Amino acid sequence: MDNRPIGLFDSGVGGLTVVKQVMKVLPNEKTIYFGDTARVPYGSKTKETVTKFSEQIIRFLLTKDVKAIIIACNTASSNSYDSLVRTFPDIPIFEVITAGVESCIDATKNKRVGIIGTQATVRSGAYELGIKQRMPDIRVFTNPCPLFVPLAEEGWTDNEVAYLTAKSYLDPLLENGVDTIVLGCTHYPLLKRCISKVVGTDVTLVDPAKATAMKMRRFLETNDMLNSDGDGSRTFYVSDHTQSFDTLCERLLKQHYIAEKTDIEKY
């Protein structure tokens, strides 16, 4: 057994959707989460900048003696994962893209799927490449949805503004007959109710968070690192303290947490 915590990070509040799934799948595991709220969003930034930010955060998490790290951010996963694994070879690092790809392939019936994400994630082609490598005959349609992140960060997840924005982004995918859409940003499940209103019941929405948590569980079990009798404590750090983080954290995780502000740029 390894009672050290699991580290997770994201550009802001989106990664809390992954924390929620880790809490369900690994209830005894301690977690340490870092939200880079001072520098959100990552989706409009260059690959080099996203990688630099991610390296700083991982160095910070390593000071907390984490036993494994989940990149709870699609932009960092798609743009920086390979580099981060090379830079930090001594810590297991998991990304959310692979889980999303596998879940998407399992879900589609007509082999016409949509990918929505930040501009950087869509530009990277990571989802499309992963899907095509496993099932070449799937048709993949993509559309970046940059306004979803600020809407989620502000808590505007199910109002008229969110609905009209979602309709504008998703209608082109629906016109192409997709039966499955991957929520290719960990912020997007926060808008799931709104997105569902636009796409209807015939389209499956894939959230990679649960599959990522399951992948972490299998890894810990296989390597005798599972904490089976821990207290499941949660610790949160942010680069800038925001009210929206506290509000969404409490809403998603059903408990009040106080995030500690950290000067991430010194790492």
List active site positions: 73, 185
Q: Cβ(227)–Cβ(2) under 8 Å?
A: yes
Q: Mind giving me the DSSP string for 137-198?
A: T-EEEEEE-TTHHHHHHHT--SSHHHHHHHHHHHHHHHHTT-SEEEEESTTGGGGHHHHHHH
Q: What is the 8-class DSSP label of residue 67? A: S
β-pairing, 180-184 with 112-117?
Answer: parallel
Distance CA 265, CA 160 (A): 37
Instruction: Pull the structure tokens for residue 132.
Output: 């095509």
The end-to-end CA distance of the chain, in Å, is 29
DSSP count for the chain of H helices, then E strands:
11, 10
Q: Cβ(163)–Cβ(193) under 8 Å?
A: no
